[in-house]
Amino acid sequence: MAKLNQIIAVEKGVKSKAQQDLTAAQRSLQKPALLAGISRTYQAKDEEGEQLPPESTRVQVRAEDVLRETAKTLTRLFDVTATKDWANCTARADVTVDGRVLVSQAPVPYLLFLEKQLADINAFVRKLPVLDASEAWTLDPSTDDWKTDAVRTLRTKKVPRNHVKAEATDKHPAQVEVYYEDIPVGYWTTVKFSGALTARRVNELLDRVEKLQQAVKFAREEANGAEVVDQRVGDAVFGYLFG
C-alpha cells in the first residue's frame, strides 16, 4: 500500500503529463487536414484518353480515439488527486514543542496553512523594533514603557558683547566689534522613553517561532507517512463525460 508522501511525490509529474497530453490532443484536433481523408479514381472518357492513377489520403486523427486517450490520461490524474485528497482528510499528526502538544491531530491541509502563516510571523518578528543598545534602559511600571536615567544638560543663551578695538579720539569714533558670549541660563533634565523591545525579548520570540515551525514540519512529515487507499473516480467521471 502506498503512502501519502509517495502520492504527493508523483502528483506533480502526473499533472504535468496530463497537461502536455491534453495540449497535444487539442492541437491535433485543430488541424482539419489530419482529420480528413479522401479516395478518388480517374476514368478516361475513352480508351485513347490519358490514364491517371487513383489518389487517396488516410484519416490520421480520429476524434473518438483522441477522446479515449485523453480520458485515459486524465483518469490517472483524477485518481492520483482523489487518493491524495481523500488521504488528507484522514492523515493527521500532533504538533509538539518541547514535549507539549500545541495542536492535536492536525490534518495535512491545516499543517500546510500553519507553515505558511509561521513563515509570515517569522518575517514579522524579525522586523520588530529593538531598544537602542547605546542607552541603558529600565522598565517604568507607571507607564509600562522603557526609560533611560535622567541626564542633566546646560542651557546657554548667546548674549552680545562689545569689544573696543580702538578708543574714540577727537577725530575718529571708537572702533567697536560685537561678539556673542554663551551665558548659562538654566538646565535641561532629559529622560528618554521607548515602546520598543529588548533584543533578548525579540530573540526569545524568534526562537519560539522557529521551534514551532520545526514542529509543524515534523508533524506534516509524520502525517504524510500515513498509508493511503487508492481511489478510482476517473473511470466513472470520464465514462459519463465521453461515454
Shared-domain flag, residues 82 and 168: no
Q: How many Cβ atoms are within 10 Å of 188's Cβ, its own excluded?
A: 9
205: helix, coil or strand?
helix
Last residue of a domain, one of 91, 114, 136: 91
Closest CA to 6 of 229, 236, 224, 232: 224
- How far apart CA 218 and CA 7 sit, in angstroms, is 18
Which pTM value belongs to this model? 0.69
Closest CA to 240 of 80, 74, 84: 74
> In this structure, are residues 196 and 131 in contact, taking their beta carbons and an 8 Å threshold?
yes
Q: Tell me if 48 is assigned to some domain.
A: yes
- pLDDT on residue 87: 92
The whole-number average pLDDT for the span 226-231 is 90
* pLDDT tens digits, one per residue of 70-115: 999 999 999 999 999 999 889 999 999 999 999 999 999 999 999 9
pLDDT over 70 at 1, yes or no: no
Domain count, the chain: 2
- pLDDT on residue 127: 96
Q: Tell me if 107 is assigned to some domain.
A: no
Question: Which domain range does residue 179 map to?
Answer: 150-190
